[in-house]
Copies of this chain bind each other. A is one copy, B any other.
């Protein structure tokens, strides 16, 4: 499990979450059993003011042995900033869709690829691992479906450059279970040694179902956000990233071992509404574990005594 709340969760929040609140939250999450935590994003502070404190956060947290601390890196400038913080992993990003890449990053996909190739060359001599997140891998809100071959050919070009892993992102919640199964299956068929992360959004309610489809097809890593934070600008009011506690709750019930301490992340999630000043989409935070039982009313006790 890979937590993205302080990056993908906070980046769209209107209210700036204080630097020391971010650090405190990450330190708390570091005790909960994650494999990887995406701390922040080294994008331009002008583009994403919510994460303008990236260096302070990355340098301020207490790193827990065994967790990879990763940051989003869009370009060479971001790579330099990330390396100056000695991050465990740099998470590079581009879209599988031309329109989305142009509107999000102001470059064609080919331009992005060449830019990221420079970034990879810069990072490769260091101890920092490289992951590439492919946005809109399950559909683009402007173009619709992206041919699977297009997605896989970008994966191949990055694989040839020796990256450690690829994240297939359902950026705007367009993925559906049979599609996820096919994409993950084909990815696994073709790329045996590449770490595969699936990054899901719950925009249309299918995130947990998609996660199950991905697991069954052989994905073993998920990005998720505490509280389900991370709204999508294309679907105002719809929920954000797949919610960590909802995903962990379901997977553990089904017998999967996530390594995550559910009670501890619920404790951390309970602080989110105060940090972002609004309710969060998490369901298990509101309803509790399915076996958090309620007291039997007195009238029932009397009857039962009959």
Contacts and interface: CB of A to CB of B under 8 A. Distances in A.
Interface of A: 98-99, 102-103, 106, 108, 139, 141-145, 173-174, 176-179, 202-206, 208-209, 212, 232, 234-239, 243, 246, 249-250, 253-255, 279, 283-284, 286-288, 290-291, 293-297, 299-300, 303-304, 306
Nearest to A206: B250
A232 B286 CA distance: 11
Contact of A142 (B99, B108, B287, B294): B294
- For this chain, the copies found in one complex come to 2
A114 B294 CA distance: 28
Contacts of A255: 178
A142 B208 contact: no
Contacts of A238: 283, 286-287
A40 to B, nearest CB: 27
A288 B235 contact: yes
Contacts of A291: 139, 144-145, 174
18 contacts: A98-B304, A99-B304, A102-B304, A103-B296, A103-B297, A103-B299, A141-B293, A176-B253, A177-B254, A179-B253, A203-B287, A204-B290, A205-B249, A205-B250, A208-B209, A209-B212, A235-B286, A239-B283
Contacts of A177: 212, 250, 254
B286 A236 contact: yes
Nearest to A239: B283
Contacts of A178: 253-255
Given A283-B205, A283-B239, A141 B300 contact: no
Nearest to A295: B142
A104 B144 CA distance: 48
DSSP majority for the A interface? loop
Contacts of A304: 98-99, 102
A293 B206 CA distance: 18
Contacts of A250: 176-177, 204-206, 209
Contacts of A206: 208, 246, 250
Going nearest first, the 3 A-B pairs with the smallest beta carbon separation are: A235-B287, A205-B283, A176-B253
A99 B300 contact: yes
